[in-house]
Amino acid sequence: MKVHPRCTYCLLSRVHAEAELSTDDEELIQKAVRGGIEALNELYRPGMPAAALSTPIHRKTYEILQDNDPYREKKELSTRVAENVLPAIRSHVFNGDGDDAATFKRAVLAAVIGNYFDYGVMGLKVPIEEFDKKFMEHFELGLHIDDTDRMLDKLDNVVYLADNCGEILIDTLVFEIIRKMGGKITLVVRGEPILNDVTMAEVEESGIDKMVDRVLTTGCKAIGVCFEDAPDELKVALENASLIISKGMANYETLSEESYRPIAYLLKVKCDPVGEDIGAPRDCSVARLFE
């Protein structure tokens, strides 16, 4: 995905938000915002890949703040909320109908709704205290773009690129049904903390590493996947996958610049530039397959 002019002020709003998560030192917050503006002025070029702008801006912000993980408390909060609501969500996904295809569709829908576990997207209100109620509202609406039926014959060797903490617990329902149907899963998480995205440390702490066949990382601190720094093992896994499942907007921004196929994008459309690029209005629940 290419950068949109609207991405610029959204990025700066996120720099400000994560600075306030990190410190109450007003001078340091101002310094972080100035650093973001300077990086934006230096790097922004119309038509450049979105992550080629966002990754260095966030790296610069973390460097100025001298904070490797300003979202740590938000990640812990979203994980606790997901743990509380997961049993109820699971009962809706695995409802006893015995239909694996229908269960897969429901699990994908649940995972997409879980993509609301996000912080810092400009204008997005995360209803964290009433997530269970909001979840059911979106669950009843279903997927606005639904290519799940076309994914069913591609589940032998899945590479699943995870997104945020919290929502990854809901992703485990997708892992469960894929493995029940005989598929294997390679889970991919961030190489270092970036935004509220899940890393190896959180996966191991929650035991999610035991729910998949192997876990790889993106190899670095970057929005989505920075292929310049990605490990060869990850590139080989992507090349050999029967299906790549890319979760969330950051992964979409980077994977959509590559030619890996088949790839399924699972996401809640939380901003207009991503919606315009993938072809779905804001707030849509998307499970779109590209072959």
What's residue 129's pLDDT? Answer: 62
Examine the domain organization and report whether 120 and 17 are in the same domain: no
Coil, helix or strand at residue 193:
coil
Q: What is the largest CA-CA distance in the chain?
A: 59
Examine the domain organization and report whether 104 and 169 are in the same domain: yes
Q: Which of the 8 DSSP states describes residue 153?
A: G
- The tally of domains found in the chain comes to 2
Distance CA 186, CA 188 (A): 7
Examine the domain organization and report whether 53 and 156 are in the same domain: no
**What is the value of pTM for the model shown?**
0.94
Task: Calculate what percentage of the chain has a pLDDT beyond 70.
Answer: 95
Examine the domain organization and report whether 26 and 10 are in the same domain: yes
2 has a pLDDT exceeding 70 = yes
117, 71 Cβ separation under 8 angstroms: no
Query: What mean pLDDT comes out for the span 8-21?
Result: 94
pLDDT in tens, 88-139: 899 999 999 999 999 999 999 999 998 876 654 444 455 556 667 778 888 9
What's residue 117's pLDDT? Answer: 65
Pick the closest to residue 184 from 156, 160, 211, 203 (CA basis).
156
What's residue 115's pLDDT? Answer: 86
Query: What mean pLDDT comes out for the span 24-39?
Result: 98
Give the distance, in angstroms, between the CA of residue 161 and the centroid of all CA atoms in the same chain: 8
Distance CA 174, CA 162 (A): 12
pLDDT in tens, 56-81: 999 999 999 999 999 999 899 888 88
Examine the domain organization and report whether 82 and 131 are in the same domain: yes
Distance CA 280, CA 187 (A): 26
Query: What mean pLDDT comes out for the span 198-215?
Result: 97
Give the distance, in angstroms, between the CA of residue 138 and the centroid of all CA atoms in the same chain: 18
Examine the domain organization and report whether 161 and 256 are in the same domain: yes
168 has a pLDDT exceeding 90 = yes
Query: ∠ CA(250), CA(147), CA(279), 5° rounding?
Result: 50
253, 274 Cβ separation under 8 angstroms: yes
Examine the domain organization and report whether 83 and 199 are in the same domain: yes
Examine the domain organization and report whether 114 and 247 are in the same domain: yes
Pick the closest to residue 237 from 218, 210, 256, 265 (CA basis).
218
Q: Which of 28-42, 110-124, 166-180 has the least mean pLDDT?
A: 110-124
- CATH number reported for the structural domain that contains residue 16 in this entry: 1.10.8.380
Examine the domain organization and report whether 48 and 116 are in the same domain: no
147 has a pLDDT exceeding 70 = yes
Give the phi and the psi of residue 196 in degrees, each rounded to 5. Answer: -105, 30
Examine the domain organization and report whether 139 and 243 are in the same domain: yes
164 has a pLDDT exceeding 50 = yes
Distance CA 45, CA 169 (A): 37
Residue that the structure tokens 């390679």 belong to: 186
Indicate the residue among 48, 65, 82 that finishes a domain: 65
- CATH number reported for the structural domain that contains residue 219 in this entry: 3.40.50.10880
Residue 125, classified by CB atoms within 10 Å of its CB into exposed (0-12), middle (13-18) or buried (19+), is exposed
Task: Calculate what percentage of the chain has a pLDDT beyond 90.
Answer: 83
Q: Which of the 8 DSSP states describes residue 9?
A: H
Distance CA 179, CA 183 (A): 5
Examine the domain organization and report whether 271 and 161 are in the same domain: yes
Which residues lie across from 267 on neighbouring strands? 286
What is the residue range of 171's domain?
Answer: 72-290
Residue that the structure tokens 């997409």 belong to: 112
The total of other beta-carbon atoms located within 10 Å of residue 76's CB is 14
Query: What mean pLDDT comes out for the span 133-153?
Result: 91
Question: CB within 8 A of 291, min separation 6: which ones?
Answer: 150, 261, 262
Query: What mean pLDDT comes out for the span 134-150?
Result: 91
What's residue 122's pLDDT? Answer: 40
29, 19 Cβ separation under 8 angstroms: yes
What's residue 208's pLDDT? Answer: 97
What's residue 84's pLDDT? Answer: 86
143 has a pLDDT exceeding 70 = yes
Examine the domain organization and report whether 166 and 230 are in the same domain: yes
Give the phi and the psi of residue 202 in degrees, each rounded to 5. Answer: -70, -35
